Amino acid sequence: MIISQSNKFIFFKPMKCAGTSVEYSLSIKYPFIGNDICTGQSGYHEDYGDWGHNAEKYSFLDGGRGEHWNPSTLSSHWPALGLGNNLSEYKTITITRHPLEQLVSYFWWAHSATNQLAFSMDTCPKTGDYPKDVILKFHKWLDVPYSASIFKEPNPPIERPHQTLSRINDEMVGVSGLVLNQANLADDCKKYFDISFPIPRFKSGKKHMKNPAHEYFRDIPQATKLILDSFPYTMNFLST
């Protein structure tokens, strides 16, 4: 997340939508000064350093707590930030991608290490698994509730993976005045921010299967509809 007081914009950083890439790129294009805030990175790539700014000044932001704040969470904490400006004075920006792609990406990210929040030993892909085995594990993972302490809160919600992504990401799309499309990331960054330098892809390369997202959902049409219905703002954006 970025709160740029100097340039009057807020970047809401979603989960599994290339949000870190956009956050980094905006930090280069609009260097932080004064009271600007950025949650930065936590060792995603040693070559890029840490572009965080002022997050350590706030206990409720530090340590990744504010990385994926959605608009309602930011609004509730706005007075405590002491920035003085009206939140409505800021241009709001986010990025999105198709919900099914978000979920497939989250599945592989969740199983990249045993300390990931949505990790499940029963659904973890293993060496020797055929694609059909991985997809069956994915189906099972979709139904596994977990403690979704995305904000490292003391009493996090217990929810399924698609509910986490909907709760965090879809509200960002509904509120933001500018929504970037992950499928056109370089073009959108050039068009809206005149960013022409190569945009790094952080956290990528976790998938060990190249099958497109729709293949994971081929045999579960009812679950697919339920998932898509939980992303109304995202689906409306993608359909226009």
pLDDT category at 153 given cuts 50, 70, 90 is: confident
Residue environment code for 192-206, b if the CB has 16+ CB neighbours within 10 A, otherwise e: ebebeeebeebbeee
At position 39, the amino acid (one-letter code) is T
Per-residue DSSP letters for 106-155? HHHHHTSSTTSTT--GGG---TT--HHHHHHHHHHHHT--EE--TT--SS
Strand order in the sheet with 91-96: 37-38, 2-4, 9-11, 91-96, 178-181
Mind listing the pLDDT tens digit for each residue in 26-84? 999 999 999 999 998 755 566 777 899 999 999 999 888 999 999 999 999 999 999 98
Every domain of the chain and the residues it spans: 2-239
**Percent composition of the chain: helix, strand, coil (DSSP 3-state, to 5):** 45, 10, 45
Residue that has been written with the tokens 């000044």 in this structure: 57
Question: Has residue 195 got a pLDDT over 60?
Answer: yes
Mind listing the pLDDT tens digit for each residue in 86-112? 888 999 999 999 999 999 999 999 999
pLDDT of residue 49: 72
DSSP state, 200?
P
Question: Has residue 174 got a pLDDT over 60?
Answer: yes
pTM of the complete model: 0.94
Q: What are 95's strand-pairing partners?
A: 180
> What is 2-239's CATH number?
3.40.50
Whether 8 and 189 have beta carbons less than 8 Å apart is answered as no
